[in-house]
Amino acid sequence: MKIAVITRSLIFSGGGERQAIQFSIELLKLGHEVTLYTTKHDSKGCFPDDVKKITLKTLAFEQKSLFPASLKRLPLVGDFFHMYAENRLAKRVALMIDSDTEVLNPNDSWGTHVALYFKKRNPRAVSVLMLNDLYTARWSLFDDPLFGGRKSLLKWPLYFLKDFFERTLFFHNLDSVVVLNNRTVGLVSHYMKKESVIVRSGVDLNHFSYRQRSPLQKDKPIRLFCHGIFYIHRRYEDAIEALQILVREGYDATLTISGDYESRDIFRAYYDRLAKLVEVHALSSRVTFSGLVSESELLELYNQADIFVSPAHLQTWGIAVFEAAASGLPTIISRTIGAAEVLEDRVNTMMVNPAKPNEIAEAVQSLVESPLLYDTIAKEANRFVRNNVSWRRYAEHMLAIFKKTYERKNA
């Protein structure tokens, strides 16, 4: 099949970016013709080695805005100009896509705009959305009380109209929708009035190899590790608070957090909050912020760690959890991330409630006090990942949906 994978940008080394790139690589291995389309690409910041393995097309230049910056900052008016600008970009990317492309695979909501404009010229093509995260005017994970609460009810009529526009014009044009977890199935049904199916993301099993760990001891160094771009839903503050509890109770524990915190203002602001928290708790000698790391450096961080912690709230999947498991690390994860839908508490992971640092600390203590539990969770998680989570498996499931969707439309 001739397939176009579409994503808004490839600037960061995040889970969504890794998924789009690895999926493209697997499609090529399976003999399909695939091109990854995006508006812009940072050749150094977004998986530079993997991008070399695929055909990537980006816009040749940034189109200048037709409107003055002062108008964009106005309430409501700025939203309109932003939507207009994003649509212009979508139309330009749609014109880049080869006319004989059979399947469009947007990897975000913006990509549904590209799909609509391409299919107006090429009606036989099908569009299958991989919706990593759902952001609508009426719902976003950042509306959750842990991230600040709901938006003003006074704006809800406008939010409803905006969602209605997105739903009727773009989402209803899609031929199939794929999501990563059960929660998103419900959200897509409620807000976008669209059915969706679940396909779990993958991991590179050859890249992340299993390493046997020795049992932990309370008076010996215990190295905790978190990884991911510095979005606030990571809730790294919970890992820092858990570290304080462990140190107070006599554990020789340290915490390393890797991930980009410099590319955007919101990343930097979150990092500054965390840095202040570390200072308040006098943990500067025990907490390391590694920043953006290369693939080889990430492998080394997994290999050096004793326990991987993912305290995120409402994260749709959690690729790093499975990378850690493939590397032989026992994991502690929040019950509200997508990975918790497929893993089992105290069987192949340790689960905690979100925003509960004390539970993270207790989970670490359990792994230290029981060498059998530590070893069992590491081995069972690795077994689960190698039997159930891979990019080949992800690609095959997506291809089955592509073929079924295409045959149904063009029968």
Answer yes or no: do 245 and 341 share one domain.
Answer: yes
* H, E, C per residue of 321-350: HHHHHHCCCCEEEECCCHHHHCCCECCCEE
Answer yes or no: do 186 and 50 share one domain.
Answer: yes
Answer yes or no: do 291 and 171 share one domain.
Answer: no
Question: Which parts of 200-258 are beta strand (E)?
Answer: 222-227, 253-258
Answer yes or no: do 352 and 315 share one domain.
Answer: yes
Provide the pLDDT for residue 150.
60
Provide the pLDDT for residue 137.
84
Provide the pLDDT for residue 104.
98
Query: Dihedral (C-alpha) 295, 388, 230, 71: value to the nearest 10 degrees?
Result: 110
- C-beta neighbour count of 359 within 10 angstroms: 20
The distance of Cα 319 from the centroid of its chain, to the nearest Å, equals 7
Provide the pLDDT for residue 153.
66
Q: What are phi and psi of 363, to 5 degrees?
A: -65, -40
Q: CA-CA distance, 254 to 222, in Å (whole number)? A: 6
The distance of Cα 230 from the centroid of its chain, to the nearest Å, equals 12
Task: Note whether residue 118 is domain-resident.
Answer: yes
Here the CATH number for the domain that contains residue 272 is: 3.40.50.2000
The distance of Cα 357 from the centroid of its chain, to the nearest Å, equals 23
Provide the pLDDT for residue 139.
84
Answer yes or no: do 329 and 294 share one domain.
Answer: yes
CA count, 13 A, side-chain hemisphere, 251: 25
Q: CA-CA distance, 14 to 7, in Å (whole number)? A: 13
Provide the pLDDT for residue 160.
87
Please give the biggest Cα pair distance in the chain.
68
Q: The tokens of 66 are what? A: 């037709």
Answer yes or no: do 169 and 23 share one domain.
Answer: yes
Provide the pLDDT for residue 336.
97
Domain range enclosing 6: 2-202+391-409
Task: Note whether residue 214 is domain-resident.
Answer: no
Residue segments in the chain with a per-residue pLDDT below the cut of 70: 62-78, 149-154
Provide the pLDDT for residue 65.
59
Q: CA-CA distance, 212 to 207, in Å (whole number)? A: 16
Answer yes or no: do 174 and 35 share one domain.
Answer: yes
Provide the pLDDT for residue 129.
98
- C-beta neighbour count of 70 within 10 angstroms: 8
Answer yes or no: do 397 and 348 share one domain.
Answer: no
What tens digit of pLDDT does each residue of 151-195 get? 666 677 888 888 998 999 999 999 999 999 999 999 999 999 999
Answer yes or no: do 143 and 72 share one domain.
Answer: yes
Answer yes or no: do 276 and 356 share one domain.
Answer: yes
**Which amino acid appears at position 166 of this protein?**
E
Answer yes or no: do 94 and 44 share one domain.
Answer: yes
Using a 10 angstrom Cβ sphere, with 0-12 exposed, 13-18 middle and 19 or more buried, the burial of residue 327 is buried
What tens digit of pLDDT does each residue of 334-390 get? 999 999 999 999 999 999 999 999 999 999 999 999 999 999 999 999 999 999 999
Q: CA-CA distance, 332 to 352, in Å (whole number)? A: 7
